[in-house]
Chain A
Amino acid sequence: MGFRREWWSSYLFPGPSEILKTLGADLRDGTLPIAVKISLTRIGLGFVTAMLLGSITGILMGALPVVHRAVSPLALGLQTLPSICWLPLAVIWFGLSERAILFVTVMGALLAVSIAVSDGIRNIPPLYLRAASMMGARGPRLYAEVLLPAALPAIISGAKQGWAFAWRSLMAGELLSVSTGSLGLGQTLMRGRDLNDMSQVLAVMLVLVLIGVVADRLVFSRLERIVRQRWGLAVA
């Protein structure tokens, strides 16, 4: 409506029809599908790495009080650090490369995941542990069959958070390293800015929101609901 009345000019805030038109064009010429694919590959890789590393450090922190005391203040401190702050460091270490983007993505999610996993393990009801020890479960079996499943609700919350952090970090990384290699969503967005193509910028933003909502609805919220229900944490 604001657009129709020409409260602002269309190059500052194009109307919905123009955004949709750009969206359509980007879809047809392959810019968007390729960008989505590249970004999803990056986040997939970064997220899986963060989950793996985060689970390992989380389990160590949850199981060994020494590690917890040593690492957790550091982890909490680092978590308040916006992930974009890792970029200069990443650029110096890895150059303006794919690896720099991956590094930023992993660092963005890693701490959230490891804190969630360690809290999950530390908050397991002692009753489960006593029952497990009474049944002679110890060592690897205790971890695989009692501690991890018991901590799973917390781990999934951690994964959900980790995904959100990773996604933001990836965009930050992509925005600031336009010149590197293949064009992800962030780079496409930035190129829209460079070309003063506002409808392109908004079209990419729309896609970003869409991916975020879809990932949450289809994957994380659903997973969380199933697990909470099974674990008896929510009313069925």
Chain B
Amino acid sequence: MEVTALKSAVFDTPIPYPETVEAATAHKISLKDINVRFSSKQGVRSVLENVNLNINAGEFVCLVGPSGCGKSTLLNVIAGLHRADSGSALKDGKAITGPGPDRAVIFQEAALFPWLSAVQNVEFALKSSIRDKKARRAKALEYLGMVHLARFAASYPHELSGGMRQRVAIARALALNPDILLMDEPFAALDAQTRDILLIEVQRIWQETGKTIIFVTHNVLEAVALGDRVLCMGVRPGCIRQEITVALPRPRAVEEPETARLAKRIMTHLRSEIDKIVQEESDHAARELALAGDGDPDRLRHTTANTMGDGI
């Protein structure tokens, strides 16, 4: 990626939706009629269609859905890393115009800088807020302490395990002192045991800091264990299909029967969305097969382009 691509992600003209501004001020995040389309050689495909979502301060919201439903895109819209084609995205009543330290993102990969040690990575996030080097180091160690990694302050990312790296990334995100933590499948690349420990950790951190957390995952169990609210997203078009409020006591572990029961209920709903994808893919394959037998390459190409336009 070229550096200018980065610049284009930091758009500077706010989306004009003045009439919604006042109504939305009560919410931490307010999304109204968000539409996102991706255009490629196969044509334009709609990723998000008319997504409406309000999130209150201090809420823990999980977005679940099958891959391709646009849940990460939705998170990127809130992060300011992706601009919606239409609709308004407001934070505290103000239009989101680009990425900023008030909305820290934790990516699937830890995204730590490999040339910096764990504590230096956290210090990077503190550079603009704390000028004094000693104070900065002390603060960085404090944040590493929150994720129980103070002992590994001097280690470099490649010397840490995947789970530890992700914890450093959480410490770094917290060091930005954001109002909102945006977590994009942060545990997807971790083994099950590590993930279970981190699920408890994240709940503890959320309770201690009172941050608003938006957590994207494809794992329903994870979503139920973490969220106050679980939003199920569907495909074609990508939108929020169902909203489930989770009122189970915390901290919740994935292996608790209550968690599992609720997850199963949500899963049944999601199943139909997944079936839809599978059905579409097999339809597509069958059509291609039939056409290949037909021996008309032009028609094959034509149909393929059309189906791919719907998006996979």
Contact = CB atoms under 8 A, between A and B. Distances in A.
Contact of B113 (A121, A128, A138, A229): A128
B107 A127 contact: yes
Interface in A136-163: 136-138, 141-142, 145-147, 149-150, 152
B111 A232 contact: no
Interface stretch (A39-47, A58-66, A216-224): A58-66
A147 B3 contact: yes
Given A127-B109, A133-B9, A134-B100, 17 more contacts: A64-B4, A65-B2, A126-B1, A126-B5, A128-B113, A129-B5, A130-B9, A130-B99, A130-B111, A134-B81, A134-B99, A134-B104, A135-B125, A136-B128, A152-B115, A231-B114, A232-B157
A152 B9 CA distance: 25
B3 A63 contact: yes
Contacts of A147: 3
Main secondary structure of the interface of A (DSSP, over half): helix
Nearest to A59: B3
B113 A149 contact: yes
Contacts of A152: 115
Pairs of residues from A and B, 6 with the lowest C-beta to C-beta distance, nearest first: A232-B158, A126-B1, A131-B111, A149-B115, A63-B3, A231-B114
B23 interface: no
A236 B158 CA distance: 9
A135 B101 CA distance: 5
Contacts of B156: 230, 232
A142 B100 CA distance: 14
B233 interface: no
Given A149-B115, A230-B115, A231-B114, A62 B3 contact: yes
A31 B112 CA distance: 53
A124 interface: yes
A142 B6 CA distance: 11
Interface in B184-198: none
A122 interface: yes
Interface in B1-18: 1-6, 9-10
Most A CB contacts (10 A, CB to CB) among B9, B115, B125, B159 go to B115
A225 to B, nearest CB: 14
B24 interface: no
A146 B4 contact: no
A134 B105 contact: yes
B1 A129 contact: yes
Q: Number of contact residues on A: which range applies?
A: 20 to 34
Contacts of A62: 2-3
Contacts of B113: 128, 131, 146, 149-150
B230 interface: no
A80 to B, nearest CB: 25
Given A128-B111, A135-B176, A152-B115, A121 B3 contact: yes
A128 B107 CA distance: 11
B84 interface: no
B4 A63 contact: yes
B136 to A, nearest CB: 14
Contacts of B128: 136
10 contacts: A62-B2, A121-B3, A131-B112, A135-B124, A136-B100, A142-B3, A145-B124, A152-B115, A232-B158, A236-B158
Most B CB contacts (10 A, CB to CB) among A65, A133, A146, A152 go to A133
Interface in B111-127: 111-115, 124-125, 127
A81 to B, nearest CB: 27
Contacts of B107: 127, 130-131
A171 B4 CA distance: 41
B10 to A, nearest CB: 7
Contacts of B176: 134-136
A138 B128 CA distance: 11
Contacts of B109: 127
A134 B105 CA distance: 7
